[in-house]
Amino acid sequence: MNTTSENNIRRRQVLAVLSLLTAQPIYMFYVGARSVVLSQILTELNGMQFFSITVILSSTIMAITLPIAGSISDKIGRRTTYLLGLGGYCIAMVLCAMALNTPMLLLGISMCGFTNGFTSSVTYALVSDTFAEAQRPKIISYISILTAASSLLGPVLGGALTDFKSWRLVFVLLLVLEALNFCCAAFGIPRIKPISTARNLDYLGIVFFTLCIAPFLYLLTSAGGTFSWLSLQTALLTAVSLVSLAALVRREKKHSAPLIPTDVIKTHPEYLICLIVTITGGICYSGMNYLALYYQNVRGMNATMSGMMTVPRQGGMMLASLLIGVYISRKRKYRRSLLIGIGVFSLAVFLIAQFGTDTLIPILLFSELLYGAADGISAVGPSSIAQHYLSKDEVGRGMAFSSFAGTFGNSLGAALNSAILQGAQNFGGSFCDGLNSAFWVYTALCASVFAVIIRFWPAHRGA
């Protein structure tokens, strides 16, 4: 009897680990595949004019959802929140696979961002619940490695399926994978008591938060293209965003369960620096969508070949994630890991800023390798550091907001990319001119964040 019970417990633990290790990789498979096939999908559905909006739609909605889902998980439990995210993602994939027009595709992509916000908000908190502190950096690095592997398979397999069969098969494959993940989670993850069932959600704060983020990102994406920077629409969107921000800040100070964990930020300055690094990483890595356009539109590659160009990126991400996870587990060199990540990012975006119509393929591949390595380090380092400094009661909200920071950075970066590329076009520049300008901005940003870490996290406060 005892043997049977122990086997059941072991089986549930294996299923739980499988689910936690594959939740983010499945989403990144979708992101990677979408980056190389999106232009063909929108061309077939006669919606190419919505390319920039489509790129930021999923990540923007996910960014808005993350802190909200983090607060919801404290009330209904992390397991329930996680399962809602996985189940909703399956529905989103059905909508994308069956899309008959652009609005239906956009609905599926929107739901994908919304439901993955639920999943991502609690994934690292569930890791914290499941594993001891000494094991967490390794587990997070394993998640990052699998994420890199899925990001590698996404562009390659997605491009091949699109070129030789149909882009709809990409979403069918994702549906099958997510359905299996849902089953693993449902049978494997134990029911964990919510932190506070009495905690009231700040519904008005959710409204202010949404009205602050969404208009701002839409403004960056559409101003200069759909409407002028000096138009009435720009003034209205700016006003709505600023007024909502002011109302949100005032509301957050008074509410017992704020969306933004200001108490955690004040208590742990290292956590604030991790948020800055996470946002920076998200901004810089958002350029991958436009690198696919560079390969296809400037260098004349098809979807399959442009997917193959990302192989060094994902290989670098896998190797760097593994090495930095082991390094942090053994050495506890938290500050140094952040400096390494931002330093490599600076070099990578500097090299990409030099891309032109005749850049040598080896240089493109080496830049992609560094680009992926930097993202691998920046993904594992801040998450491991935040879990080290946050208490058990803080880790849920703290990690959800960390996920928000990265996703918001990705949305912000995509919006900035769109604005810079549109600006270059308005002034008679080429796509390469816009891409180079965007990555020069990223180079300056990385250098500034490197200086912030040196200045505000002195060496004597942690290696």
Block mean pLDDT (10 aa), the chain, length 463 = 68 80 84 80 82 73 78 78 90 91 88 86 75 69 75 79 85 92 85 61 76 78 71 88 86 69 66 68 69 82 77 80 76 77 86 87 89 77 67 66 72 75 76 85 86 73 51
Tokens matching residue 16: 């739980």
At residue 5's C-alpha, the angle toward residues 190 and 23, to 5°, is 30
Q: What is the pLDDT of residue 182?
A: 92
Same-domain status, 148 and 229: no
**Tokens 């040196």 — which residue?**
454
Same-domain status, 234 and 308: no
Whether the CB-CB separation of 208 and 201 falls below 8 Å is answered with no
Nearest by Cα to 276 from 174, 401, 389: 401
Using the 3D structure, point to which of 233, 256, 279 is the last residue of a domain: 256
Please count the other Cβ atoms lying within 10 Å of the Cβ belonging to residue 353.
17
Taking the C-alpha atoms of residue 393 and residue 170, their distance in angstroms, rounded to an integer, is: 39
Same-domain status, 311 and 364: yes
Using the 3D structure, point to which of 256, 280, 301 is the last residue of a domain: 256
Whether the CB-CB separation of 119 and 87 falls below 8 Å is answered with no
- For the whole model, what pTM was predicted? 0.67
Same-domain status, 434 and 453: yes
Whether the CB-CB separation of 130 and 143 falls below 8 Å is answered with no
Same-domain status, 283 and 187: yes
Number of domains forming the structure of the chain: 2
- Residues contacting 98, CB < 8 A, separation 6+: 104, 168
Q: What is the pLDDT of residue 1?
A: 47
Taking the C-alpha atoms of residue 340 and residue 390, their distance in angstroms, rounded to an integer, is: 22
Using the 3D structure, point to which of 256, 273, 302 is the last residue of a domain: 256
Same-domain status, 150 and 22: yes
Whether the CB-CB separation of 377 and 317 falls below 8 Å is answered with no
Whether the CB-CB separation of 201 and 257 falls below 8 Å is answered with yes
Same-domain status, 128 and 32: yes
3-state secondary structure the chain: CHHHHHHHHHHHHHHHHHHHHHHHHHHHHHHHHHHHHHHHHHHHCCCHHHHHHHHHHHHHHHHHHHHHHHHHHHHHCHHHHHHHHHHHHHHHHHHHHCCCCHHHHHHHHHHHHHHHHHHHHHHHHHHHHHCCCCCHHHHHHHHHHHHHHHHHHHHHHHHHHHHHCCCHHHHHHHHHHHHHHHHHHHHHCCCCCCCCCCCCCCHHHHHHHHHHHHHHHHHHHHECCCECCCCHHHHHHHHHHHHHHHHHHHHHHHCCCCCCCHHHHHHCHHHHHHHHHHHHHHHHHCCHHHHHHHHHHHCCCCHHHHHHCCHHHHHHHHHHHHHHHHHHHHHCCHHHHHHHHHHHHHHHHHHHCCCCCCCCHHHHHHHHHHHHHHHHHHHHHHHHHHHHHCCHHHHHHHHHHHHHHHHHHHHHHHHHHHHHHHHHHHCCCCHHHHHHHHHHHHHHHHHHHHHHHHHHCCHHHCC
**Tokens 């202010």 — which residue?**
208
Tokens matching residue 422: 């549109």
Please count the other Cβ atoms lying within 10 Å of the Cβ belonging to residue 361.
9
Same-domain status, 187 and 211: no
Nearest by Cα to 30 from 184, 181, 171, 172: 171
Same-domain status, 240 and 336: no
Q: What is the pLDDT of residue 273?
A: 66
Please count the other Cβ atoms lying within 10 Å of the Cβ belonging to residue 6.
10
Same-domain status, 143 and 224: no
Same-domain status, 237 and 280: no
Where in the sequence is the domain holding 237, given as residue range(s)?
A: 202-256
Taking the C-alpha atoms of residue 290 and residue 414, their distance in angstroms, rounded to an integer, is: 9
Taking the C-alpha atoms of residue 401 and residue 124, their distance in angstroms, rounded to an integer, is: 11
Same-domain status, 454 and 331: yes
Q: What is the pLDDT of residue 26?
A: 87
Residue 112: CATH number of its domain: 1.20.1250.20
Q: What is the pLDDT of residue 382?
A: 67
Q: What is the pLDDT of residue 267?
A: 64
* Amino acid identity for residue 57 in this structure: L
Q: Output the CA–CA distances (angstroms, integers) from residue 43 to 38, 102, 210, 249, 267, in the order listed.
A: 8, 10, 30, 42, 50
